[in-house]
Amino acid sequence: MTDDDAAAVLPRGQPLGRSLLEILIAAGIVVWLYSFFLTSVEVRDEHMTPTLRPGQRVLVSRLPYRLTVPQRGDVVAVRNRIDPARIQLHRVIGLPGDVLDIRGAQVSVNGLPLREPYLLEGRERLNLSATTVGRYRLGPDDYFLLNDNRADLGDSRSFGAFSREQIVGRAWLIYWPPQDFAAVAHTPPTRGEP
C-alpha cells in the first residue's frame, strides 16, 4: 500500500472547530428530543405510596397524550398549582363527563363503586375525615386526579379537576434508585362492588 492509497482510505483531519460544532449540534438535538418527548420527576413525598415512593425518579413520556387521551388508572404528571415549577404525579380516576361520589377512601363513578387494588391501605383503616366526602361533576375536558395515598388531600379534592392541556404526560419508568428500576404500574380500577 502506498502513501497515496493510505491517504485515500483514511480521511484527512477535520478542523477541530468543525468537529466541536457537530458535537454541539448533535447534543442540542438530543436535548431537544428529550425535552419534547420526556421529562423527569422526583417523587418527594408519600402521596403516591405504595405505587411510587419518596426518593424515586420517574421518566414521564409526553408523547402518549399527543396521540390519545388519558385513561382511568393512568399515573400522570401535572404542574403543581401552588408551585408551577414543580411537577407532581397523580392517578386519573374521573374522566370527562363523569360524576364522582367520594366517601372516605371509597370512590364511586357514575353510581358504581371503584375497586382500586393500588390503594395504600384498606378503606377500613384509612380513618379519613369528613373533608374527603364530596360529589364532583366533571366537564367535557375535566380529569379528576387522586393520590394513591388517599390520606394526602393534595389532589383534585383540594385543587379541582385538571384539563387535558394541564396534563404534562404519562409516567413511564422508575429509573432511580437502580434497584427500583421498573415500568410504572398503570393499574385501572374496576367498577362494581368494592
Q: What is the pLDDT of residue 27?
A: 72
What residues does 142 pair with on adjacent strands?
Answer: 163
Q: What is the pLDDT of residue 58?
A: 94
Helices (H) and strands (E) in the chain, counts: 5, 13
How far is it, in rounded angstroms, from Cα 194 to Cα 190? 9
Q: What is the DSSP string of 100-155?
A: EEEETTEEEETTEEEE-TT-SS-HHHH---GGG-EEEE--TTEEEEE-SSTT---S
How far is it, in rounded angstroms, from Cα 149 to Cα 133? 16
CA atoms within 13 A on the CB side of 88: 24
Which burial class, exposed, middle or buried, applies to 29 when counting CB atoms under 10 A from its CB (0-12, 13-18, 19+)? exposed
Q: What is the pLDDT of residue 17?
A: 66
Max distance between CA atoms of the chain, in angstroms, equals: 89
> In this structure, what C-alpha cell is assigned to residue 93?
380516576
* Structural domains in the chain plus CATH codes: 15-97+138-189 (2.10.109.10)
How far is it, in rounded angstroms, from Cα 65 to Cα 186? 15
Q: What is the pLDDT of residue 35?
A: 65
Q: What is the pLDDT of residue 130?
A: 44
| Residue numbers of the chain with a pLDDT score lower than 70 | 1-18, 30-36, 120-132, 193-194
Give the predicted TM-score (pTM) of the model: 0.78
